Amino acid sequence: MACFLVPGSEAVVTTIVQKAIGKEKAEKWKLRWLNTMLWGGFILLAIEHIWHGEVVPWPPFLTAMKNPADTAAMLHEMATHGIAMAVIVTIAWIVMVA
């Protein structure tokens, strides 16, 4: 439904951090690797959600937002699947950098 928004949000934050801390620190911490993994996952998941009709080009954009009962399920999916995906990608990056 909208689980891809969680890694996408993390990608936005890490991209801002990468720009803010400067090139030397970003290269030292390999933030580009993390950003590439997060943005890649976000894009692939967004395409998958569009393909399955869960995201549409008209408001409210997320089909789960049409029905209040579906909204609760969407938020639960974001809290479980979305956070899990973002954490797993971040842990994989930590292992790669270590």
Q: For residue range 39-77, what is the model confidence (pLDDT) as tens digits?
A: 999 999 999 999 999 888 888 888 878 888 888 888 899
Q: Are 70 and 3 in contact (CB under 8 A)?
A: no
Average pLDDT, the chain: 92
Which of 2-11, 58-67, 87-96 is predicted with the least confidence, judged by mean pLDDT? 58-67
DSSP secondary structure letter of residue 58? S
Task: Tell whether the model's pLDDT for residue 18 goes beyond 80.
Answer: yes
Task: Tell whether the model's pLDDT for residue 1 goes beyond 80.
Answer: no
The H-or-E segment that residue 54 falls in is none
91 lies in which domain range?
5-97
Q: How many domains, in total, are found in the chain? A: 1
What residues pair up with 55 in beta bridges, in sequence order? 62
pLDDT at 39: 98
- Whole-number Cα distances in Å, 63 to 31, 42, 76: 33, 18, 15
- Structure tokens given for 68: 């209040």
What is the distance between the alpha carbons of residues 73 and 70, in angstroms, rounded to a whole number? 5
